[in-house]
Structure 1
Amino acid sequence: MSWDMVIVVDPDQDDAEYSFAAASMGRTCRAMTEAGMLVTVDPPVFRKAAEFGFTMDDLVRYYQAGPDSPDIPDAFYEMRRANQAARDRAVEQPTGIPAYKFASNDRWLVSPAEITAALAVYDGLAQAEQDELFGSLGDWDGWIAFLRRAVDRRGFRVE
């Protein structure tokens, strides 16, 4: 399993993607959490299939049918839009990137404000602290450069 971070604006440019393998993502998240760049906040509440009038078996059938199937009700697409809106929601007055956004690769949007808050924490660390926390991580400088680019390009998605 891997995590692909894809910048929102101009995602086809060469510098618009950053990928993590599962092991390196875990190490990076632990270091970012220890530094205070990843923060614990409650994740959004997702709407349930029953609220839209169908069961989990219906959901499986709709996903298997594919997006062009005439058998998929409009309520299915309404549910998907509502749940994507929950994934797109930014934390008000963030102090870092919400850790739950890195817990899965479900197209979470990490907002410029969340990234800026995380970078402020990082930039506030003494060089010795940065070296201790992040020195053993392979391409830490590349990750930080990606985060800085993403701020001006409406954030990034975790895919």
Structure 2
Amino acid sequence: SKIQLMRSRVTSIFLYACESWTLTAELQRRIQAMEMKCCRKILHISYKDHVTNEAVRAKIQQAIGPHEDLLTIVKRCKLQWYGHVSRSSGLAKTILQGTVKGGRIQGGQRERWEDNIREWTGLEFGKSKRAVEDRENLRKLVAKSSVVPQRPSRLRD
């Protein structure tokens, strides 16, 4: 079907190098919006039709069955890559765990790559490094941490 074709083509292109992204709230919102825009385009549903996102998700679910949304896939890929790099001994591990002398730029705190890991796992960065050394622990951590809750539907009067 067209939906499965979209998911296979768009998803593979979209996820290229997603492991290196720092997911800010704005980027997460844009990922979800892009996915919904693609689904609406394939189903020929315009925003002018006043069909809710929940109804669009239900039609997709009915057409292809249960599936992961893009944000969940991005989180899972990032956590799996983190575990892979943490178990290795190469340059990627040195870069990931290294620090640079000096402070951060003036202004608001910018979110860092490791802040995502800390937020999703609920563990400090040092504890999470030890937790992912065992592949079975990593699988459990990824399964628990990569789930993205859907935004609650708005209450109407």
TM-score by length of 2: 0.33
What's the TM-score once normalised by structure 1's chain length? 0.33
- The structure that is helix-richer by fraction is 2
